Structure 1
């Protein structure tokens, strides 16, 4: 709302408009005032508190990309293997999908310019404080992606191994993941303790299409409906002490629904391990 008041005439509410639109309008006014993208961003970063990654197309056909000074969200630079075209993407898995190689992460506070003359880079902020989103490593990011030099799949698996050392449940019969993002952590947990790993829960992808992240849904009825798509396999979990590994706990809606479903399917005992927070 503060940015909206600065640009004037841009009515912004989270339900009716995009905060990106407001930021873009403010940035355009700052570029007109300061003359350079980097100078404009150095002012905007003090006015706009939050996370952002920007890409811009200028009137001289140059393309700009910028990452916020805290590095809250990821942004990566890649290059096509055949034609040498540079690509900016939110994570490295997108580069692989179009036949490009990862060059590096965009540095927090960095502005990159792509033009006919090549690539130019400059820092619009030199703050050293970092605030990477923890959900990227546990939940949001594609498991094949690499962020800050670390592979997401292996990072999640290592989290599972760490949890097994810190919270070992050695009398369990089976370790199962809540599909899908908790799978690497569950596998790491099972391998560290030498416990059997299996798919005791499956996500029903056929009954309904739509979002599959229950904590994001604004209404409780929608969150409950999403959790009905996770189906226990009774023959695998019946009469067993099951360790359920989930990637995160936000509202607890999914955890309650899954535990109730496992109980109905005959699990003798249920232990819950959460990778985050």
Structure 2
């Protein structure tokens, strides 16, 4: 018996990195999971590798109608939705005086507007069952976990666009928690620190992705990567599996009374201008 038996989850951006590790944990504990990514072939390979009961939805969530189609896919496949993890994202870094309107807008789109639209699409499937359960005198908890970052809670030089989007996620989380608590939908965020993913790997010609037909450079300079032992009290970056543990906790029954919170999973890293 798994603690998530009978649950249906959507994890956006789950073909690799933290999203993949999260999907794996949810599957291991009994959930049925929608694997989502821009790259449909990679998403299918991930589903095949992970096993368990999963289905694949490929698409660009920043395009009109795609978040609605993602939720509809889960409902059409399994007839319910219990867990939504808004994880999809990437970075476009530049100092603010050199940042284009396009780069600013793209970060807000993927990190803030996409979670908003996906949550809105999921609303009937999270709220309406809860109304019936309330009339029957039952409590059934459903979960929304929004992925933020300490760039959003503390700021980070060169990431005004990303930081603004991730800060907005915290505000979205807290507001939705106040609106949907009555429906027993736990809404929380996870703010990650330095986790070993493509976004924090070496910034070189091999670490690129394609977004909307444009090649996007990912990663950070090796000089910055060498600072990890000094910046992180635990002495190293976290793994995607360790990051996924924080998300899993907020998807599990053990978090039923955790609501409107931002869980920092950082290895103790809390640098920044905190006053």
Structure with larger Rg: 1
Q: TM-score, normalised by structure 1?
A: 0.25
Larger RCO, structures 1/2 (Cα 8 Å, 6+ apart): 2
Q: TM-score, normalised by structure 2?
A: 0.25
Q: Flag the structure with higher helix content.
A: 2
Q: Flag the structure with higher strand content.
A: 1
